Amino acid sequence: MIEFREIDRNNLFDVIKLGVADGQKEFVATNLFSIAQAKAFPECICLSIYHDDILVGFTMYCIDYEDKEYWISRLMIDEKYQSKGYGKAAMEKLIDRIKEDKKHKVIYIFEPENTWAKHLYEKLGFAADGRVIEGEVVYKLEY
Ligand SMILES: CC(C)(COP(=O)(O)OP(=O)(O)OC[C@H]1O[C@@H](n2cnc3c(N)ncnc32)[C@H](O)[C@@H]1OP(=O)(O)O)[C@@H](O)C(=O)NCCC(=O)NCCS
């Protein structure tokens, strides 16, 4: 079962040690970078991803400072635990969590360069909304 946990003194160092494969490093910032970013951008919410009590990944989302809408900014599953369905389950869980906020109706994400991730997001209902911001295609999921 996939579960989100806060990042605190119990797991910070383990979350920082999670990593993606060499060929995937260009697709996602390191968790160290993301956690540092969240310190300065308090709207960013960092969560660690556990599967049956084992730490497998990391995600970060926010209500954007400028457009005040939900954005999923990071998703990574450690190299060792990829292709077991955890990334998909974590995205579904995160979408469900955001959907609980009835004041909002849309979740944004940038089109990933990683084709696995692109396929995953499209399967979950994300589609291009027509905007390109700083060269990146914006995907949205309306709920
Ligand atoms: C993208 C990522 C989060 C997916 O997590 P995952 O746990 O490995 O993926 P899942 O096992 O849940 O599979 C989800 C989809 O990914 C694709 N996928 C997973 N493993 C794959 C593989 N070995 N080959 C091809 N596609 C694969 C499949 O399309 C799969 O969909 P399916 O269930 O219909 O087959 C993970 O691979 C990752 O951390 N990648 C590096 C970081 C990154 O690119 N993050 C996204 C941009 S921020």
We report the CATH number of the domain holding residue 22 as: 3.40.630.30
Q: How many domains would you assign to the chain? A: 1
125 lines ligand 1 (CB under 6 A): no
Q: What percent of the chain has pLDDT over 90?
A: 99
Question: pLDDT by residue (tens digit) across 27-50?
Answer: 999 999 999 999 999 999 999 999
The predicted pLDDT at position 43 comes to 98
- CA atoms of 40 and 54, how far apart (whole Å): 28
What is the average pLDDT score of the chain?
A: 97
Ligand 1 mean position, distance from CA 116 (Å): 5
Question: pLDDT by residue (tens digit) across 47-78?
Answer: 999 999 999 999 999 999 999 999 999 999 99
The residue nearest atom 22 of ligand 1, judged by CA position, is: 83
Mean predicted confidence (pLDDT) in 90-108: 98
The residue nearest atom 27 of ligand 1, judged by CA position, is: 116
